[in-house]
Structure 1
Amino acid sequence: MTRIVVLPNEKLCPEGAVVEAEPGESVCRALLRNGVDIEHACEMSCACTTCHVIVREGYDSMEPPDELEDDYLDKAWGLEPDSRLSCQAIVTDEELVVEIPRYTINMVSERH
């Protein structure tokens, strides 16, 4: 099992979280399975940006984003160089530290 450290997020996990993931599993699926209710409007089909995370540590341990993911990431709120769609970011055997941005594109467009 691989550890994913989730930095505190005001709404989803105010204290942060440490979850266990299977290598080969997506970050999104691991978070959901461990009670971190990250938004995933497209049901993890790489058709939105609501599961956007910023990988603070371990980014280079994963395969780089493909062209489709890159296209969607361009639309993500709060995009950073180490941003990924968590539904497409596949866990390896290296620990990850991820930050879930405060807002998603859905929240921004709804003026939250």
Structure 2
Amino acid sequence: MRPSARSAARSAVRFALPALLAGTAALTGAPGAAADPAPGCVTHSSGWRYTFVTNGCADPQRVTVAYLDGTAVPCRTAAPGGTVTFPGYGTQGNRVLSVDLCPAGD
């Protein structure tokens, strides 16, 4: 591939990839696709086997985790000072995109 064509291809990927990933999340119904992010007092720590979400807020928080591949996980309630567990990123390199609040009634 010629240098100018290679540069054009890189630019196309750099600009198209974020839109493609966002579109994929919306199409798969991934948790967090249209959800509100959890407040800053909710933190997470991810490993290959587990993702731990800790609630440092004064009130209980009902949360879920959004993954790169769109894996759907159920909502869990974390008490103040409590930690809830979700799947980790696994051996395939899936990663946590965000911790999101669950809609009322979920």
Q: TM-score, normalised by structure 2?
A: 0.30
Answer with 1 or 2: which has the greater Rg: 2
RCO higher in 1 or 2 (8 Å CA, sep ≥ 6)?
Answer: 1
Query: Which structure dedicates a bigger proportion of its chain to helix?
Result: 2
